[in-house]
Amino acid sequence: MGILFLIVFIDLVGFGIVIPLLPYYGLRFAASPLEVTTMMACYSLAQFVSSPLLGRLSDRVGRRPVLMASLSVFAAAYIWLGCATALWMVFAARALGGAGAGNIAAAQAYIADVTTPENRAKGMGLVGAAFALGFIIGPALGGLLARGGPASADLRAPAWVAAALSTVALLGVVLLLPESLPPERRGSGKKIRRIVALSAVLRRPVLSRLIVALFLIVLAFSGMESVFALWALQQFGWGPAQVAYIFAYFGLLSASLQGVLIGRLAARFGEDRLLPFGLALMCGGLAILPFPRGLPLLGIAATGLALGTGLAQPSLNSLISRHADRDEQGQVLGVSQSGGGLARVLGPIIAGALFAEFGRDAPFLCSAALVAAALVMALRLGHRPAPVRPV
């Protein structure tokens, strides 16, 4: 599991390098705020399509082949982004990268293969910590590589480095990562079409509510993330470096929680109790975010949002996995990741429209309302121990 953590971490460093810089690609090519957020959403649209397909494919052929193929696509997408000379090329490169991003379902299924139900939250927390650490080093590195202000930043060098890191992660899978799914368990699940699979998953009451809650918090976070650089430019006059450092601070807190504490907290309190607390922190952070005029209040908002995300997301992923049978881990986690991908499509588009029509603070207030709705759903679930599925 440690090797998978390192591979996901290296890959997410490359992902984190690019994320804070994407709005500046839009500015470079004279894109509107809605075009900027749509550019970010096209990545998630491709991920929405690919996640359940790659998750189900990993149930049939194993986790390693899916991870290798998707990381190869990632590297090619970053190379294309580095070569972009027009806005359509940025859109196309991001869509290609999104197709490879479906590998997260395979990575989560790998964790489900090698952990017991009781340790599932800790395992999912390690993947979450790899994400968060990627957002510590990635954005900071991207800001350093980009240099300059909003108009003069070097946007090519970060893309080349991201491509190199994806290649390193690919080599890690090829050389170091053993297969987690035994041959006798491959293809043992029912071979059903995607729409039928989605319907079958969403007909389960608790599982469907968990996936909807995940959809809402990803919708909220992706909306906030997509307009934060534009907001910071208007609010503080910040360029890529300052935005990258805020993302890095966010990642540091979230990674510390998910990598060190989430397993102990889940063992003591249970994921179903951690989830509402994390959602409340997220909601508070988003509600405060429109008001800072300086770093202290912005730091409070970012802290609440980071700690809340660090508690809520691994708890949700663990609960979703524990409500799935062992031969459908990839499929169910693929459906949940697909829902997250759809949220990442809609979130930036909605946030961009709100930013343009109602001002820079409107997306954050909308995101707070979405997390509040997820919190109500989590509270209505009550304390229901997840079934212990065989692994």
* Element (DSSP H or E) covering residue 368: helix 362-381
Q: Are the CB atoms for 135 and 247 separated by under 8 Å?
A: yes
Measured CA to CA, the distance from residue 273 to residue 311 in angstroms comes to 10
Measured CA to CA, the distance from residue 68 to residue 273 in angstroms comes to 36
Q: How many CB atoms lie within 10 A of CB 86?
A: 9
Measured CA to CA, the distance from residue 155 to residue 21 in angstroms comes to 7
Residue 179 sits at φ, ψ, to 5 deg, of -70, 140
Whole-prediction pTM: 0.66
Residue 286 has a pLDDT of: 94
Instruction: Supply 71's token pair.
Output: 């990381």
Q: DSSP readout, 144-174?
A: HHH-S-TTT---HHHHHHHHHHHHHHHHHHH
- Could you tell me how far CA 253 lies from the centroid of its own chain? 16
Largest CA distance in the chain: 59
Q: How many CB atoms lie within 10 A of CB 359?
A: 13
Residue 47 has a pLDDT of: 74
Domain ranges of the chain: 2-177+193-381
Q: How far is CA 127 from CA 122, 203, 245, in A?
A: 9, 28, 22
For the chain, which ranges sit under pLDDT 50? 189-192, 384-391
Instruction: Supply 110's token pair.
Output: 């790998």
Instruction: Supply 66's token pair.
Output: 């899916």
Residue 386 has a pLDDT of: 47
Residue 391 has a pLDDT of: 41
| Total residues found in the chain within this entry | 391
Q: What sign results for the dihedral spanned by CA atoms 206, 209, 274, 328?
A: positive
Q: Are the CB atoms for 282 and 220 separated by under 8 Å?
A: yes
* Domain 2-177+193-381, CATH class in plain words: mainly alpha
Residue 120 has a pLDDT of: 66
Q: How far is CA 317 from CA 83, 124, 208, in A?
A: 36, 7, 13
